Structure 1
């Protein structure tokens, strides 16, 4: 009887996800869809401009990190100024789209490592030595840990995870989804303090100063909770992958293959040479790290990524014979860039849509209205915190930047929750849960288009609907599971970081 009930529930979940997938894929090509969405933003901004949509609030200036009274109006794209913006910003929107440069530059290193044979050999070695039951858990855990390197995990891990799953005879898209869930859905969890922690802490500090001018939020404010969350998200992601995503995808019947032959003597030698080259790269980067200081995590990661793939790839290729001269290297790079042509076209339209949405202030207006709604509900305690997380998760679908969104929400919610006894660090922690969990289903998320392109390597018919239907179970389970975990932590009264409690002293 219990099994029959489980099958019935599973059938309902599959039907629901199939409806989402079919509905999403019935839409035009992703590039065309982003173009249509951009036009819709133009039309809505015109309506908002005529009707005078605006919001007033206390916000944090992104440049000075100071709180100030702000009034945000809808910037119409159907005025003379708006049309001027559309035409003058089109090239800039495309070239300044953050993931574009990251992906293309990173592909220089990855392309050499891949086409020299290094990545395939490493994957075979991993596949032959890793227990099958631990692969999903390993991929999700590595995805979570990769966010310490800002956005580098988005570029590297999903395509590698797809290949790892393929080498095990499993569906590659399930591997890609598991990595994306770890990197993006678990974005704030980590065993280490990442690049985002001090940035969020700076905004939270300024919001807290509205009530306490001497309050300071440290980068390690959420560290204990985020360490524990790493294991929670790894467990939840593994559960979703094994119980929902992989069974729904079924057996992979595509053309992509990886042969699991034993590592040859020549390949073992080439791997050792690549290992020595990797050590040389590390030694080279040590003085670079100290020279760049805190900027290393912000500006030095992509060049580091290129070196970490390109130098060992060159060493491996030279040893194994796949690279004989510089022409071979240039040929590899050309082939790698050819594979990114679809992504470049898609990014052009996605960049316009995201830029228009930001220019019109529609996302900001929606965020402030959402914050005002929650503030007026009058709920408190755990329901208030869960409501806050849900509102942030919803707003995240329309306003992708974690920092820009927090700069708007922090001056509202940090003082509000301080008045009822919650520490600013705890409010920041709750915000991070809502901000992370819906990244993987939001087309406004910068790397969303890139994941679609990676996915189309294994299923050419896949589109936005396919990706959302695959990632939705992760998003829902992460949101519910992480919120429950937070509620339990609240009841336990444990500190959320070094010398940081949930409640302010005196409450």
Structure 2
């Protein structure tokens, strides 16, 4: 089994390394759209729109009018690209909460006080919830889980596996809305409007399903750890890393947490005052789902995280000056530079793909094929989940994958009666499940380095062999949950 895993990983790594950087991938895709639009236009490619009955023809982007449109719209394509503004606003607040130390302390406190069998569940659960703070789960929770498992007399690599499964394998699930929800809904909205202009996918479109997914992923991760991971690791000896330190409570941390708790209660009271009645100030006579509260949920989340971070930073003594808060926001956005470069080219690709009508033509043609196959929606969703899971082995960035897949699959599945919100949640399942078994995931090497502090000769094949059962359990269990959810007719979100 280890030899087969090593060979599989080596083949996967060599194949994946041949792919360009995600940003360069979109540069090449933009060039491909230009060429394809010209060829499709010259060949007279067209389809009949199944809703309006109008003829849809390919548009040559390399024509004079096409070049003019690209030149005059490049800036607006980027600035008006839905995922850009919402994610940046959300990260301003969450970045302050993370860099103040608040999120790390909350994660550490959650798992530190666990005893017995509940420890594994809380480690996986904390990992799932850590997706709100970008890489905090990787750099804080995973090494901490190893130390806690070892101090509890359990294998430290089992702690790393359980935390990694929650942080990365359960990345899409959460009890709270976060930047990833905003990013996906923005791209989904852009893709859905290829078929139906004005269509909007809410940031909370998958909220109820993702809340249930937190419990599912936590239970599955716990089950795999106890039934497979720990028995497999029983004969694998480890050492104690020189830098290992037992987590401790400090008075200043407790002071900061109490201050955050008091503010959180006041914040909840203020929100309830604006939501309890139809005429309240956050509803203005509307239902909660269409209220200013829901439309501004990203700002509310960011503001709450920012204030909590500021309170904790000063109450704990970590920060002393207002400039510390500004530096935290600056450092957070500086870390988003790669994301912004990626989104610039992704925005151009999505816009050009839409202008060329190739997205709509592909969707209509694909929908015709799917109609002829006459497969049930459940089968189509399962196929798409496995497509997303397979592509995830080679392209690590979730935003890059969805920006690539959404313009094709969202319109295509819309035309056979599958809503964008359903397609989006199917992508989230496939995208998260295989994160933990591909060395092309940016933090795979980081996890390997953490594991090697306990056993120097540990290789990628061993880590992949440990994580593969989690990946399969999440992929199959999550897919089954979606089928049950859709069969029952339950709403995916708000």
TM-score range, shorter chain: 0.5 to 0.7
Structure 2 distance, partners of 1:365, 1:393, is: 23
Deviation at 1:23, TM superposition (A): 1.9
Matched, 1:161 2:137: yes
Match of 2:367 among 368, 371, 374: 371
Q: What is the correspondence of 1:89-238 to structure 2 with a 5 Å cutoff?
A: 89-130=73-114, 131-135=118-122, 137-139=124-126, 142=129, 156-162=132-138, 163-169=140-146, 178-179=166-167, 181-184=169-172, 232=216, 235=219
Cα pair 1:187 1:436 within 8 Å, conserved: no
Deviation at 1:263, TM superposition (A): 0.8
Structure 2 distance, partners of 1:126, 1:187, is: 16
**How far does the alpha carbon of each residue in 1:272-322 deviate from its partner, in whole angstroms, 9 at most, with x for none?**
112112222222333444424433564322221222222122222222222
Runs of at least 5 residues in structure 2 that lack an aligned partner in the other structure: 147-156, 189-194, 196-204, 389-400, 435-439, 450-463
TM-score by length of 1: 0.63
Structure 1 distance, partners of 2:90, 2:211, is: 28
Gap change, CA 1:239 and 1:117, over 3 Å in 2:
same
Runs of at least 5 residues in structure 1 that lack an aligned partner in the other structure: 1-6, 60-67, 144-152, 201-206, 208-220, 415-426, 443-450, 461-468, 499-507
Gap change, CA 1:484 and 1:166, over 3 Å in 2:
same
- Give 3-state SS (helix, strand or coil) of 1:52's partner: coil
**How far does the alpha carbon of each residue in 1:430-466 deviate from its partner, in whole angstroms, 9 at most, with x for none?**
7676454344599xxxxxxxx9777798899xxxxxx
Partner residue in 2 for 1:39: 31
**How far does the alpha carbon of each residue in 1:110-149 deviate from its partner, in whole angstroms, 9 at most, with x for none?**
2322232222322321231245421454147648xxxxxx
Match of 1:276 among 257, 262, 266: 262
Partner residue in 2 for 1:412: 416
**How far does the alpha carbon of each residue in 1:404-446 deviate from its partner, in whole angstroms, 9 at most, with x for none?**
95665445347xxxxxxxxxxxx9997676454344599xxxx
Match of 2:326 among 321, 325, 330: 330
Q: What is the correspondence of 1:426-505 to structure 2 with a 5 Å cutoff?
A: 434-440=426-432, 480-482=476-478, 495-497=488-490
**How far does the alpha carbon of each residue in 1:15-39 deviate from its partner, in whole angstroms, 9 at most, with x for none?**
4454333322233333223222222
TM-score by length of 2: 0.64
Partner residue in 2 for 1:503: none
Structure 1 distance, partners of 2:355, 2:244, is: 45
Structure 2 distance, partners of 1:111, 1:410, is: 36
Partner residue in 1 for 2:252: 266
- Give 3-state SS (helix, strand or coil) of 2:248's partner: coil
Q: Aligned-residue CA RMSD in angstroms?
A: 5.2
Cα pair 1:49 1:75 within 8 Å, conserved: yes
Gap change, CA 1:165 and 1:75, over 3 Å in 2:
farther
- Give 3-state SS (helix, strand or coil) of 2:416's partner: helix
Cα pair 2:59 2:356 within 8 Å, conserved: yes
Matched, 1:362 2:358: yes
The alignment of Structure 1 onto Structure 2 pairs a total of residues equal to 410
Deviation at 1:223, TM superposition (A): 11
Deviation at 1:178, TM superposition (A): 3.8
Partner residue in 1 for 2:59: 75
Identify which range, 222-231 or 333-342, moves more after superposition. 222-231
Partner residue in 1 for 2:271: 285
- Give 3-state SS (helix, strand or coil) of 2:89's partner: helix
